[in-house]
Structure 1
């Protein structure tokens, strides 16, 4: 209900308007009255009406002075001047004070009703717009962490637009301009355990891997960012102080690599290879360090510690092939991203541009092209598996190997990749589900960022504009878990890390991961891990 206040030094006018205004029809109510500007000012400040109807000539304080004081203190309600004097100067002052309307006495009730109706309609539109702005602001705040992650990924892979490269860094990353930069590449080894992970476990292990990497890196380097890339690859960006060349830094990097391999093997029983790129002084060269990190892994460069798959890039290491065995990580990332979001036209363009780059190289060997095809097929399989689609079911392995063996020119590779993208994007599993995949990706990321808070499926359904029941179905289909089970698994995974690494008490861990009821947390922990929380820290 809207509220209206009336200010006039003529009591008969006050009473007459109170009786004549069609309150119910306007869905409005009277909240106060006054007979001079000073009393009106106090009454309006205490009641905050939506609409004020006021005279100009009044004792103690006139209407225009009262309005000016109200505007100075931030009053945003609608003000209608009802005066017995039609004076141009008064009207001009009223306009300056953002008055809704200026009418002369006497006024007919139909006219007053129309003016009030117009003012109330404007109020409704303003409230609607304000709600939209608040909702937009909430969404911006909600999506900010995910936008930030995408910016970091683009900075690492070299896919930032040129306009970003020439402008100032985002505020949280201004320090990049004053530090060095080194990329540590991580590659999951596809041994038996990794291949046996279902979709639900795959999402959970990616989350656990990110936690471990950030925890270990943060204990050695004060500044770092972590980003998942395509398939089983991810990247860690370190920002050591300048100057970069020092024995201490090399020892820290060696220690970091060994700890990452050990912790991943110990806590989630997976095997990773680690490559360390060359240090860079300019943040725009971070993508070069990333390429070098994965080249070190591929070429097994400078295997520095026995028993560890830890490699360091060194300038001057050349390979016999002019096309270089170094994998085009930027191309892999761009193509996988386009595929996951069903951007078929964009994928075609990315393939065409990469083909042109290959054709400019001399002596691109067929075995290198076939190697690229095999890796890309594996990346496609990883990327689609993450969103619940099994690529291996779409083509027989024998046929696939035969097709790859026939790829001897960049043009043939491009045509083969384009055909495979078209096949995937037109499949029944893929058609019409792009929005759903994006919604589920958003929700899983949101859970990983906010698992410590109270989260409901209904709340998230509103954010992605899907019904709760429909979202529950597609979430289960694409992750293999119900929403509540997935949330619980994430919380339990984080609680294991807190118990082991930080030596926290059980009730502290329970609160940290979103459980106020400690016995309930302990019950869930045993259900999902097979042991009580206290057994884990003995």
Structure 2
């Protein structure tokens, strides 16, 4: 069930929303409500909802300040704003916070239901993608760990104990995400420590070549997948699958395997730093080109991250580093500048300009435009007419 919290200082609105939202149809559950932003922060931290529906203008702390605090805390769920308070500063801040949906009061029952259906659809899609990725990773980790344990026990029958499949697999799964993170961050020290932790399970057992090969392939899979996630391909490294297999096939001790992967991690982490600026510029160039081609779409950083096969947060940091401003600020600026140009051309109506720069709601576009330029599109059109 998807968890939803409602935050509004109007009790009638809260009651109405609970009646309007098709909870059962969307497999949602009401998880709580709050009457101001301070209560809302506490509620969200405790309930950890998938969806927040909030008003903006509330006592103690307004809805957008609340969302900003929650995002800094780490909340990354869906946010729907339902507000009757029109203020250009709030509209700009809503843009900056990338609110998922922004509705004006009064909103019809069907509008609210439609927005909720779209919100849950986004959550379902993300859940499916996360599940597919998780299953892929786990299958890559567990399938390669399906070692012939009978053969191992037979080969080690003289040993006082046999390798524990569960222990190896558990250690591997536990270390996996941390190892991925450390490689993405080029944290060589932590990555090596995690690799040693994985091999601790087998280091006191007699060396077994097939186990070493499969365990090594498993580690190599994690390393290459981590690189893939941040846009670095194997072509950038002087290593290949065959190289790893051949080296592992000729080793005769666990220490040799550990040393191999310590060396690999060192090369990987350094390679990320060798040509980092060039790779970053190339990624950002792709983003800029995509933005120009799809200005009329509701393009988001998450969309581009999925297309470039890289995490959203990482891509955001790269963009700011290369361009010198955040993705949201850049996108707003180029949209507003294009809108200005179209207004001065005098060939478009306001709603047409709004659509061509990615805003489906002309009123919302006008609010954003005035905050950016100091005047509404209509005022700028009138100014242009006087000049002529």
Instruction: Bin the TM-score by the shorter chain.
Output: 0.3 to 0.5
- Bigger proportion of residues as helix: 2
> How does the TM-score come out when normalised to structure 1?
0.29
**Greater relative contact order, per chain length (Cα 8 Å cut-off, separation 6+):** 2
Larger Rg: 1
